[in-house]
Amino acid sequence: MTPVITKPSAFGLSASHLSLKPVDKFIHDHGIGMGTLHSGLFLANESQAGFEVIERMGVLPPADIIPGTYFLEATYLNRETGETYPIVVQPPVRVQVDSQVQKLPAPELDLVTQLRMLAQKLPQGIEGLETVFEEVGRVNQYDPVQDYTKQAETALVYRLQQEPDNLEWAYGLALARVLQKDGEGAIAALTKVTELDSQNPYAYAYLAFVYLYNLNPGAAQIALKSALEIAPNQPEIKALNGIAALMQGNLIQAWRYIKSITHH
């Protein structure tokens, strides 16, 4: 795919949108220059004269994408103001999706896409969570300041304004904020996740965990009540409930939960 070559602010975000209207679509969001482009890289005269960014990367269509021809729509999202501007794609970019053709070598996916992929494992609970944080440790070696988490958050906030019921994006936003240790932001994102994934006990467990991180055990127990109604014998959820009880000084209740886990 020919990438967008543009000349906006160095602090912006390029939000590429490949769509087959009205059947399906897939997204590819990332900071310009993968977030490594900033004003300190340029002399004053170079910044004023403008510059050109050329990016070569892979994109990942969903596994269940409908075969066909997709057209690139590109949007510039200003990270400072939240304003968006259409990017004219010249010449038009067409991507032919065909599951029957031979796979070709491709560059490694950008870190924002990898974060969104990892977030899809969160509904699996502990098994998925272990995989997520193993991979996050590896990914963080490529971006020591973890700007990719901020890129993902900016893009997914924008995406969810357009599709507020997109569960995949909601999990992605929650993960991006958790990795930034943004307690309040993660609580807001995970509250939305529990609304969209209301029958998944792990959604409530994640919300409860962040409440505990934020030293709010009362709110954590309220979230865990919903989790226990769905999965009353899940040891991890019982353990969180025991911690919430202990943090509130309820030693008897905490002991009961710990005893039930040990017995299990």
Domains of the chain: 13-97 (no CATH), 111-263 (1.25.40.10)
Q: How far lies 20's CA from each of 15, 65, 208, in Å? A: 16, 10, 39
Residue type at 113? T
Three-class SS of residue 174? helix
Cβ atoms of residues 23 and 68 within 8 Å: yes
206: its two tokens: 């994640």
Per-residue confidence in pLDDT tens, the chain, 264 aa? 333 333 333 344 555 556 554 447 888 998 887 777 766 666 666 656 667 778 888 888 888 888 888 888 889 999 888 899 898 888 888 888 888 888 888 888 899 999 999 999 999 998 898 899 889 988 888 887 889 999 999 999 999 999 999 999 999 999 999 999 999 999 999 999 999 999 999 999 999 999 999 999 999 999 999 999 999 988 888 888 878 877 777 665 656 656 565 555
- Tell me the C-alpha distance between 216 and 12, whole Å: 35
Three-class SS of residue 239? helix
Q: 68-77 and 13-20 as β-strands: parallel, antiparallel, unpaired?
A: antiparallel
Find, among 17, 13, 149, 169, the residue nearest to 93 by Cα.
Answer: 17
Cβ atoms of residues 175 and 119 within 8 Å: yes
Q: How far lies 3's CA from each of 24, 58, 66, 142, in Å? A: 21, 10, 22, 21
Gyration radius (Cα) of the chain, Å: 21
Other CB atoms within a 10 A radius of the CB of residue 41 amount to 12
- Tell me the C-alpha distance between 10 and 208, whole Å: 38
- Tell me the C-alpha distance between 72 and 27, whole Å: 10
Cβ atoms of residues 72 and 56 within 8 Å: no
